[in-house]
Amino acid sequence: MAAEPSRQIDLTPERRAQVLGIIRNRLPDARIWVYGSRARGRARRYSDLDLMLDDHGKTIPTRVMGDLDEDFDESNLPIIVDLHDMALTDARFLDRVRRDFLLLD
């Protein structure tokens, strides 16, 4: 899943730090992959941020995913963050988006 060195995540350093802080508060060791328009360099100002969370192959508890959704809803981020648990993601969908993956941290 190595990313192309020339690609960068379309997210300001401040927003990136805020997203990482919110996720690290609940999932300190998870790998966080960005995919979609913000990984492909096609994001518009208010494009959502698509994230695939990988907690070392373990399923992330529903409660934790719900808490993360709430944390993002309560944040001052002006974009929608769309979270997916890699352990629960359909293999066909994962294969389709994996080519875009860029590691957030």
How many residues belong to the chain? 105
Helix (H, G, I), strand (E, B) or coil at 2: coil
Smallest CA-to-CA distance from 40 within 93, 96, 79, 105 is with 96
Q: Is 18 inside any structural domain?
A: no
Q: How many CB atoms lie within 10 A of CB 16?
A: 15
Q: Is 13 inside any structural domain?
A: no
CATH assignment at residue 90: 3.30.460.10
Q: Is 90 inside any structural domain?
A: yes
DSSP secondary structure letter of residue 86: G
Q: Is 25 inside any structural domain?
A: no
16-50 pLDDT, tens per residue?
999 999 999 999 999 999 999 999 989 998 899 99
pTM of the model: 0.91
Residue 2 burial class via C-beta count within 10 angstroms: exposed 0-12, middle 13-18, buried 19 and up: exposed
Q: Is 6 inside any structural domain?
A: no
Q: Is 84 inside any structural domain?
A: yes
- What is the reported pLDDT for 4? 47
Give residue 14's pLDDT band: very low, low, confident or very high (50, 70, 90).
Answer: very high
- As for how many domains the chain has, the answer is 1
Q: Which residues are catalytic?
A: 48, 50
Q: Is 7 inside any structural domain?
A: no
57-97 pLDDT, tens per residue?
999 999 999 999 999 999 999 999 999 999 999 999 999 99
